[in-house]
Amino acid sequence: MSEDQVSLRSIKDARERIASVIYRTPLYLSPRLTNRTHTNVFLKLESYQPTRVFKIRGAANKILKLAPAEREHGLVAASSGNHGLSVSYVAKLVGVPATIVVPTNAVEEKVGIIEEYGARVVKHGLYHDERMSKALEIQKATGATLVHPFDDPDVIAGQGTIGLEICDDLPNVDTVVVPIGGGGLISGVSTAIKSLSPSVRIIGVEPEKASSMYQSMKEEKIVRLTDTTSIADGLAAREPGSLTFAISKRNVDEIVLVTEEEIEKAVFDVIKECHIVVEPSAAAAIAALAKIKPRKVNENVAVVISGGNISRKILANVLSKNA
């Protein structure tokens, strides 16, 4: 795949297309994080989306772009998490049938939400690869459209609309910090921002325990990790996509790695300092702030707070540890 499949044009088109489905989220200047980091820290609050996560943008762009004949054949996606939730939410809104493949050990509560949106849930396998094979099988058998969680130009263009909004709200942004899972979010955001302001610094963030993009950039080829378990489950992709790797290689200036402890502490810090509840994947980006060297006085740093879907167990644990 060529990285030119995603462009400023395709992202601007996505913005028009998804406007009635998504919220235009605030870019909140945090006084506390600003005081602590000696930069101006702005939080792009995707945790305020209807599905509490940015993935609704990519899903909406993909689904709304389908021709009527394609819509009739429905959608299929493999995810029990934020991607599955977002695809089923948009599918219901648009009135397209959706099948979501989840692992056989998926948390009942997550499955319940997906089913409430009216999607059909298929339980299959334990690993992402097994679920993806099953999804491809369903795609072949039914003619359904597969909505990939990240390695799809329409999905990436949808996530890129976040970059447009950041530039609209903060034209003199200097640095944008983005968590990396499969790389869809940073691919879209960086394409939008580098197209509008090439000098803006794009910093990716990965957990030390799930640093597939970092390793791939270093080796200059896609590296597949065998084990990626992180409290930030949204960032635990084993390898970047071919498209997201190509785009990130071009656009990302630096990748910062954070530890599990730093992520967990950041979840608590954001509750304490901003009164905002974020999921560990988003907290990773906050944890990275301490490791980023400002390039100038009063640097404007925008942090993409990717989502707010934290498990109650982790939230309770973080609060009681720090009580």
Q: How many CB atoms lie within 10 A of CB 36?
A: 14
Closer residue to its own copies in complex, CB, 39/244: 39
Minimal distance in Å, beta carbon 317 to its own copies? 9
Minimal distance in Å, beta carbon 208 to its own copies? 27
**Distances from the Cα of 318 to the Cα of 23, 181, 231, 261, 288, angstroms:** 29, 22, 12, 11, 18
Q: Supply the DSSP symbol for 78.
A: E
Minimal distance in Å, beta carbon 122 to its own copies? 21
Q: What amino acid positions are annotated as catalytic residues? A: 55, 306
Minimal distance in Å, beta carbon 202 to its own copies? 26
* Residue 58 burial (C-beta neighbours within 10 Å; 0-12, 13-18, 19+): buried
Closer residue to its own copies in complex, CB, 27/102: 27
Q: How many CB atoms lie within 10 A of CB 320?
A: 8
Give the binding site for its own copies (CB under 8 A): 23, 26, 28, 31-32, 35, 45, 48, 50, 52, 109, 113, 116-117, 271-272, 275-277, 308-310, 312-313, 315-316, 319-320, 322-323
Closer residue to its own copies in complex, CB, 105/320: 320
Closer residue to its own copies in complex, CB, 252/271: 271
Report H helices in the chain. 8-18, 31-37, 55-64, 68-72, 82-94, 108-116, 128-142, 153-169, 184-196, 212-219, 242-251, 260-274, 280-288, 312-321
